[in-house]
Amino acid sequence: MKTAMRNLNVFLLFLIFSAFDLLAGDNAPLSCPNEMELQGNRCYKAMKLSASWPEAKEYCTIIGAKLAAIATNYEQNLISGIIFRQYGKSEQNAYWLDGSDMLVEKEWQWMGNDGSPVPFSFTYWGPKQPSNSKERCLEIRYDLQSKWNNAHCQVLRNVICEARAIGKGRDVVNDTLQEP
C-alpha cells in the first residue's frame, strides 16, 4: 500500500511538473543574445563602431544577428528611438541598415544574411533620396530626422543589428516586428 501511494505521489508530481513545463514553454519570456535590447519579438543593438557597410554586415553576423531592416513605420520609430536613447542627437549618428541596390541599380532591397533579398515594402527616404547611383548602401541618419540616405558602402558608419528574440519552447513564427 505504501509503495502504491508513493508511486501515485511520484506520478502526480510528474504530471504537475510536466504541465508547468508545458505552460512555461508557451509563456516563457523572450530574451536577446549578446546584450541586445528586446523590443516585441525582435532584438536590437546600436553600436558606435565606425565600419564600412560590408564590415557592419560581418559584425552583425558574428554576434548572431543581421543589419537592421525596417518594414513598418512602427519599426522606423522604434529604431530611431533606440539610437537617440543610446547616443543622443549628433551629426555622427549615421547607422548602416541592411538595404542596398547592389544587385539591380535603383531597386532597393533588404539583403539579409541568407542570400534572399527582399524588396522594400516601406521607405523613409530623406529629401531627394536616393540621390547618387554610386551610393549603393542604406543608412539611417539621426541628423536628418532619422530619414534614410544612400551612401558609398565604404564610408565609415555606426552599426545597428537586429535578431529574432529567443525563448524556451518558442519559435517566433511572425518574423516582422508589429506594433503592439
At 54-74, the pLDDT tens digits run: 999 999 999 999 999 999 999
| CATH architecture under which domain 37-164 falls | Roll (3.10)
Q: What is the pLDDT of residues 20-36, one digit of tens each?
A: 444 445 566 899 988 99
Contacts of 34 (CB under 8 A, 6+ apart): 45, 63, 64, 65
Dihedral over Cα of 25, 31, 34, 39: its sign: positive
Q: Are 135 and 152 in contact (CB under 8 A)?
A: yes
Q: What is the pLDDT of residues 103-140, one digit of tens each?
A: 999 999 999 988 789 999 999 999 999 998 899 999 99
Average pLDDT, the chain: 82
Cα distances (angstroms) measured from residue 30 to each of 90, 163, 167:
32, 12, 4
Domain boundaries, the chain: 1-29, 37-164
